[in-house]
């Protein structure tokens, strides 16, 4: 690779007619985390159409549908809420299902707080964006800056597109047909597998993934939707507690950057930084 | 039935849950064992999200076109395809199988 300064690269980009370099600094485009963040934003954002259409079909008006996407902003919980109502359930039941399904976001919040170390009021904004996709994008990176870029690219991208496409779905309704016809549910499966894949290095990560997948499938028929994921989280936590003595390669991304940032970037070695 | 109060209550609960995670003391998270568990939980959650999206249909298990998406995505990943390609392959597999009348 040529060693160029940012300015030189911008010039080169312009000369080559690469308009993207004018819109975004070249550094951002080089970032793998930003690429993953943009990809997952598009894949997830488009799925908002399906939520909007389904919500309208379940009897929710436009602003009720938008409130769920804008404020609740957690796909699983939103689908659960409208699903319970569509199935004839009460408002309390819908709220309970959505809350149970959203519990894992609390765990994500904990992880994102430890990984990204948001300062001051930023955490109130970051909290709203702490969902499956942003956590997965951030924790898939090993460099602290990349983790931060991944989180915010995916977070802002998904928030904007998810709400935009929720509105499209709510307004267009059933005219679009079944979103499944477009394979959007398959896109979600592929995205989560793609986020898991790079972590499956070594025997322990594989064992955890298999055990948690089996635990999830066994739990599905017996507990409300969303809870199987919590069962898997609990199984993984017990597994981690018992296997703590042995370190394994695939688990590093969560451990290394944190230690690195503490000693290098922030330079604080003591407590009470908060 | 007026759903607005329940919608707003559920929205508040959703945000409160997310925010609660940010008030767990960081010192707890500096503990090596906690960080190790955070690592195993990430893998567990991703594995769980993958199979839930592939096989769960409400409270039952379904074997439909999403399995095609799972297999196609795995093959794409094995061939070292980039993230966006994997996602598109997954969507195309599910859509293609449905076009052929399966799942």
Strand, coil or helix: A30: helix
| SS3 readout for B10-23 | HHHHHHHHHHHHHH
Do residues B69 and B100 both lie within one domain? yes
Do residues B102 and B86 both lie within one domain? yes
What's the domain range around B50?
25-61
Do residues B48 and B74 both lie within one domain? no
User: Residue A225 contacts by C-beta under 8 Å, 6 or more apart in sequence?
Assistant: A76, A80, A83, A97, A101, B56, B58, B59
Please tell me the total count of domains within chain B: 2
As a whole number of angstroms, the distance between CA A48 and CA A68 comes to 11
- Residue A179 is predicted with a pLDDT of 66
Beta-carbon pairs below 8 A across chains A and B: 327
Classify residue B20: in a domain, yes or no. Answer: no
Is-contact A238 B33, C-beta < 8 A? no
Do residues B99 and B70 both lie within one domain? yes
**Inter-chain touch B86–A196, beta carbons under 8 Å:** no
Is-contact B39 A158, C-beta < 8 A? no
How confident is the prediction along chain A (274 residues), in pLDDT tens digits per residue? Answer: 445 555 555 554 444 444 444 445 556 768 889 999 998 898 888 878 878 887 887 889 999 999 999 999 998 789 878 877 877 778 887 898 788 778 889 988 988 998 899 999 999 999 999 998 999 899 888 899 999 999 999 999 999 999 999 999 899 876 666 667 778 788 878 878 987 898 898 899 999 999 999 999 999 999 887 778 778 889 999 999 998 765 544 454 444 333 333 333 333 333 333 3
Nearest to A219 by CA among B6, B82, B51: B51
- Residue A253 is predicted with a pLDDT of 46
Do residues B56 and B68 both lie within one domain? no
Is-contact A95 B17, C-beta < 8 A? no
Question: Out of B10, B41, B52, whose CB is closest to A98?
Answer: B10
Provide the chain A residues 103-162 that lie in CB contact (below 8 A) with chain B. Answer: 103-114, 117-118, 123-124, 126-128, 130-132, 135-136, 139
- Backbone angles phi and psi of A121, in degrees to 5: -80, -10
Interface ipTM > 0.90: no
Do residues B83 and B56 both lie within one domain? no
Domain ranges of chain A: 25-199, 201-259
Return the beta strands (E) in chain B as ranges: 56-57, 60-61
pLDDT at B34 over 80: no
CA dist A271 to A15, A184, A259, A274, Å?
51, 46, 14, 8
Interface with B, mutate which of A193, A205, A249, A250 (most B CBs under 10 A): A193
Contacts with B88 from chain A: Cβ below 8 Å: 187
Burial of B28 (0-12, 13-18, 19+ CB in 10 A): exposed
Do residues B52 and B69 both lie within one domain? no
CA dist A139 to A29, A33, A146, A197, B66, Å?
19, 10, 9, 13, 26
pTM of the predicted model as reported, rounded to 2 decimal places: 0.66
Do residues B67 and B56 both lie within one domain? no
- Backbone angles phi and psi of B66, in degrees to 5: -65, -25
As a whole number of angstroms, the distance between CA B52 and CA A214 comes to 11
Strand, coil or helix: A266: coil
Do residues B55 and B67 both lie within one domain? no
Contacts with A186 from chain B: Cβ below 8 Å: 65-66, 68-69, 72, 90-95
Do residues B46 and B82 both lie within one domain? no
Place of tokens 């930084």: A273
């Amino acid at each position: 690779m040529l060693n160029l300064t940012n300015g030189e690269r911008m010039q080169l980009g312009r000369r080559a007619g690469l308009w993207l370099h004018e819109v975004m600094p070249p550094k951002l485009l080089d970032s793998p985390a930003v690429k993953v963040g943009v990809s997952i934003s598009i894949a997830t954002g488009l799925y908002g159409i399906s939520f909007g259409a389904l919500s309208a079909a379940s009897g929710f008006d436009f602003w009720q549908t938008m409130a769920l996407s804008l404020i609740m902003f957690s796909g699983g919980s939103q689908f659960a809420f409208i699903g319970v109502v569509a199935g004839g359930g009460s408002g309390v039941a819908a709220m309970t299902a959505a809350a149970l399904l959203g519990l894992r976001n609390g765990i994500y919040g904990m992880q994102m707080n430890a990984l990204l170390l948001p300062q001051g009021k930023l955490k109130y904004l970051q909290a709203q964006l702490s969902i499956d996709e942003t956590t997965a994008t951030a924790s898939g990176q090993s460099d602290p800056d990349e983790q931060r870029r991944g989180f915010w690219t995916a977070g802002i991208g998904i928030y904007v597109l998810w709400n935009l496409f929720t509105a499209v779905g709510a307004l267009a309704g059933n005219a679009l047909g079944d979103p499944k016809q477009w394979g959007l549910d398959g896109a979600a499966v592929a995205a989560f597998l793609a986020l898991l894949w790079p972590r499956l290095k070594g025997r322990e990560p594989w064992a955890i993934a298999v055990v948690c997948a089996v635990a999830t499938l066994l739990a599905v028929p017996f507990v409300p939707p969303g809870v199987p994921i919590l069962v898997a989280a609990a199984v993984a936590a017990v597994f981690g507690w018992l296997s703590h003595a042995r370190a394994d390669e695939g688990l590093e991304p969560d451990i290394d950057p944190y230690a690195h940032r503490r000693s290098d970037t922030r330079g604080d070695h003591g407590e009470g930084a908060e | 039935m007026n759903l607005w109060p329940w919608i707003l209550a559920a929205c508040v609960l959703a945000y409160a849950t997310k925010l609660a995670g940010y008030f767990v003391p960081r010192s707890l998270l500096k503990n090596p064992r906690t960080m190790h568990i955070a690592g195993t939980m990430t893998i567990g959650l991703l594995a769980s999200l993958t199979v839930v999206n592939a096989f769960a249909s409400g409270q039952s298990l379904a074997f439909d076109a999403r399995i095609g998406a799972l297999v196609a995505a795995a093959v794409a990943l094995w061939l070292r395809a980039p993230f966006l390609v994997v996602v598109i392959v997954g969507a195309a597999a599910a859509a293609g199988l449905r076009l052929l009348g399966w799942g």
